Amino acid sequence: MSVPFLSLREQTATLRAELLESIGTVLDTQGFANGPAVAAFEKELAAYLGVREVVALNTGTSALHAALLCADVGPGDDVVTVAHTWISTVWAVSYVGARPVFVDVDPSTSGMDPALLERALTPRTRAIVPVHLYGHPVDLDPILDLARRRNIAVIEDNAQALGALYRGRRAGTLGTVNATSFYPGKNLGACGEGGALLTDDAGMAARARRLRDHAQEGRHNHVELGFNWRMDGIQGAVLSVKLKRLEQWNARRRAIAARYLAGLGEAPGLTLPQRHAWAEPIWHLFAVFHERRDELRAALERRGVQTGVHYPRPVHLQPAYAHLDLRAGALPVTEKLARTQLSLPMYPELTDAQADEVIEATRDACEELSGQRRAG
């Protein structure tokens, strides 16, 4: 048996008839760009999250870009964020002409370490962008408190944590203006690209709706530099079908995570993800850590288990950000996670038998690496 890192095949097969029917409505109504299916999905997602405004966009990267523009971040501003993330978080800061300033992460959440935040602020800091990585919320209250005191916007990058709870509240709805992604492999994934801006601020939502449609206010009246960030009608139709299953899928991910946590506790050399009492994570990824990550990854591959690495090179050490002049050693925890992190297969359609196969292979590989083979 082999276990793929991610498979969307089963989910798509199960929903096929419903998806085709929903997509058929778009074909019938010709609402291909934005249109009624997208508007309906926006309302449904807003109701699910308990947020006033959802603005559907073409990608999560655009959603971050839009959020920064809506928070009036621009050239000359600093934006404090993390380097242990998918690079889009930082691209968005660069797109608006601001300077990314990195703080290190807390190994217990893999997200922004609030204890390090205050000293990273400068008189130019205009926004803070924490990332809820792997589906586990960062400890947001200290970040929100500090931002409120200093009059700085908070923009949650919630691409990996849609549905997660932070102290009983939905991650991705607590910042000033926030972003999420519907990239196919996300917990709520489109059959193509998609993203959304989330906010309680009606003015910011109105601006984002304008920005996504060439900044038009009325037809052929372009009030600022605009973009084509519209969501495809077909993606809106797909996402409405899938949103109805999100809670059930996230619950299944939690059950798989519980199985992994119970089964992997004694694997030598393996550090398991933590779950804070104040968090209800949605396990977008199941991240483990091992000093000999690459060898462990190869050993799992030999045993038929595919894995991922999120992310092997932090943003501050990427060639695209060489101009920031940050060297290896600048962000020790970030760099350690980049060296040791490994993602095990995690998706709702993973069977118990497959999860057990992953557990068995991981324990066996860890024992092999530590030199202690199990008896029998």
Ligand X SMILES: Cc1ncc(COP(=O)(O)O)c(C=O)c1O
* Residue among 258, 255, 253, 212 nearest 55 (CA): 212
Cα separation, 289 vs 341, whole angstroms? 5
Residue identified by tokens 């801006």 is 197
Q: Nearer to ligand X by C-beta: 22 or 88?
A: 88
354 touches ligand X by CB under 6 A: no
Query: Nearest distance from residue 49's CB to ligand X, in Å?
Result: 17
61 touches ligand X by CB under 6 A: yes
Q: Which residue is nearest to ligand X (CB)?
A: 60
Contact assessment for residue 314 and residue 324, using Cβ atoms and an 8 Å cutoff: no
236 touches ligand X by CB under 6 A: no
Judged by CB under 6 A, how many residues of this single chain contact ligand X? Answer: 15
Residue identified by tokens 């083979």 is 373
Q: Interacting stretch for ligand X, rule CB under 6 A, among 104-112, 154-162, 317-325, 363-371? A: 154-162
Q: Binding marks (x or -) toward ligand X, 90..109, rule CB under 6 A?
A: --------------------
249 touches ligand X by CB under 6 A: no
Peptide bond preceding 311 in cis form (omega within 30 of 0): yes
Q: Interacting stretch for ligand X, rule CB under 6 A, among 34-42, 84-92, 231-239, 240-248? A: 84-92
Binding test (CB under 6 A) with ligand X, winner from 81, 85, 125, 199? 85
Q: Binding marks (x or -) toward ligand X, 190..209, rule CB under 6 A?
A: ---x-x--------------
Q: Rounded to 10 degrees, what is the CA torsion of 91, 94, 99, 103?
A: -10
Q: 197 in helix, strand or coil? A: strand
Query: Nearest distance from residue 332's CB to ligand X, in Å?
Result: 21
Contact assessment for residue 358 and residue 260, using Cβ atoms and an 8 Å cutoff: yes
How would you classify residue 304: left for phi > 0, otherwise alpha for psi between -120 and 50, otherwise beta?
A: left
Residues at the contact surface with ligand X, assessed by CB under 6 A: 59-61, 85-86, 88-89, 131, 157, 159-160, 181, 183, 193, 195
